[in-house]
Amino acid sequence: MLQETPPRSVSAGVPGERGYAHAARPFLFLSDLHLSEAIPKTVAAFEHFVTYTADSADSVFILGDLFEYWIGDGMLDVDPFAARMAALLHTFSERGIALYVMHGNRDFLLGRRFMKAAGARHLADPSLIVAFGQRIVLAHGDAQCTADHGYQRFRRFARNRIAQWLFLAWPLRWRRRLAERMRANSEAGRMRPASPRYDVTREGIAALFKLSRASVMIHGHTHRPARHLEPGGVRWVLPDWDLDHGQPRGGYLCVDAEGIRALPLDSPLA
């Protein structure tokens, strides 16, 4: 089900609506950072983004896979890195910047405790916003990979509340061991040639445009950043972030009065 989520002053992007005068600051979108201690350069780039790049933003939207994995909010008690990232994110709210976090396929167990520690609001997948007069649907993107039937079965199972409750009842060390094994399998899979099976499908994209009645879609997940002209509207794919392996990758999307534009990590807001 599509959830319409009007972040603070996002609806102000529509002339004539309440709060329109306060919509001058931009909205920033990013995804697929896959943060962990194993990628210190990427973490440093994210810290710079939070502290400096996004300082003039109205709202920041993280559309899934903020972390490489998240095995429960108990990580905040035993993992200094997780606690440090939550504290870093909380600086957004301290500066009056709204933060919205969507679950990805790696961190769908981010819970209420994390959201509170990070000063964030959970953003449903998919969600609809109105920003600067544009109706925009947001998604992580994995639900639109409808040709990967095996993954879609896993996705439905993993998001079942009973299955999550049973998993979270395991000792943390067991959960971490399973997450590391799944991570290793995923890394091995990246060595295989890219297959259309793991990309979004025309049917999945068309269905979301139809459901949302949006003219713009923003999602991540596929790690194939681009701007696509679809029958239903314009689709922006966010880049993944990785400054620790091979050619550095990363970036974010900015939506403001000038329109929508993709910006590299070393490009500050004007």
243-269 residue pLDDT tens: 999 899 999 999 999 999 999 997 667
For helices 40-51 and 80-94, give the axis angle rounded to 10 degrees. Answer: 20
Residue 269 lies in a domain: no
Residue 44 lies in a domain: yes
Helix (H, G, I), strand (E, B) or coil at 88: helix
Residue 133 lies in a domain: yes
Question: Residue 184 sits in a domain of what CATH number?
Answer: 3.60.21.10
Task: Look at the block and give the residue holding tokens 């890195």.
Answer: 81
Structural domain range at position 259: 3-263
- How far is residue 118's CA from residue 91's CA, in Å, rounded to a whole number? 8
What is the DSSP code (8-state) at residue 239?
P
Helix (H, G, I), strand (E, B) or coil at 119: coil
Residue 268 lies in a domain: no
Task: Please count the other Cβ atoms lying within 10 Å of the Cβ belonging to residue 151.
Answer: 17
pLDDT digits (tens, 9 = 90+) for 210-238: 999 999 999 999 999 999 999 999 999 99
Number of domains in the chain: 1
- How far is residue 249's CA from residue 220's CA, in Å, rounded to a whole number? 14
- How far is residue 261's CA from residue 10's CA, in Å, rounded to a whole number? 17
Residue 270 lies in a domain: no
Residue 25 lies in a domain: yes
In terms of phi and psi (left: phi > 0; alpha: psi -120 to 50; beta: otherwise), the region of 27 is: beta
- How far is residue 260's CA from residue 229's CA, in Å, rounded to a whole number? 14
Task: Please count the other Cβ atoms lying within 10 Å of the Cβ belonging to residue 98.
Answer: 19
Residue 116 lies in a domain: yes
Residue 48 lies in a domain: yes
Walk along the chain (270 residues) and give the pLDDT tens digit of each residue: 465 554 433 443 333 233 333 458 999 999 999 999 999 999 999 999 999 999 999 999 999 999 998 888 999 999 999 999 999 999 999 999 999 999 999 898 899 999 999 999 999 999 999 999 899 999 999 999 999 898 889 889 888 888 778 777 777 777 778 777 766 665 544 544 556 677 999 999 999 999 999 999 999 999 999 999 999 999 999 999 999 998 999 999 999 999 999 999 976 676
Closest by CA to 241, choosing from 28, 34, 27, is 34
